[in-house]
Amino acid sequence: MTTATGSPADWYFEDFAVGQVFRTQGRTITEADLVGFAGWSWDTNPVHTDAVHTADGRFGRPIAHGMLGLSVAMGLASRLGIFEACSIALLGIDGWRFEAPVLVGDTVTCTIHITGARATSTGRAGILEREFVLSNQDDVVVQRGAIGLMVARRPA
Return the pLDDT at 2. Answer: 57
pLDDT-derived band at 10 (thresholds 50, 70, 90) equals confident
Q: Which of 5-9, 28-32, 96-100, 135-139 has the lowest mean pLDDT?
A: 5-9
pLDDT at 29 over 90: yes
Per-residue pLDDT of 123-146, as tens digits, reads: 999 999 999 999 999 999 999 999
What is the rounded distance in angstroms from the CA atom of residue 40 to the CA atom of residue 65?
A: 12
What is the rounded distance in angstroms from the CA atom of residue 100 to the CA atom of residue 109?
A: 14
* Residues 68 and 34: beta-carbon distance below 8 Å: yes
The stretch 18-26 carries a mean pLDDT of: 97
Q: How many CA atoms lie within 13 A of 123 on its CB side?
A: 1
Residue 87: phi and psi, rounded to 5, are -65, 135
First to last CA, the chain: 29
pLDDT at 9 over 80: no
What is the rounded distance in angstroms from the CA atom of residue 83 to the CA atom of residue 12?
A: 8
Per-residue pLDDT of 36-86, as tens digits, reads: 999 999 999 999 999 999 999 999 999 999 999 999 999 999 999 999 989
Q: C-alpha 10: how far from its chain's center?
A: 22
Return the pLDDT at 51. Answer: 93
Nearest to 130 by CA among 84, 83, 86: 83
* Residues 150 and 89: beta-carbon distance below 8 Å: yes
What is the rounded distance in angstroms from the CA atom of residue 61 to the CA atom of residue 42?
A: 20
pLDDT at 5 over 60: no
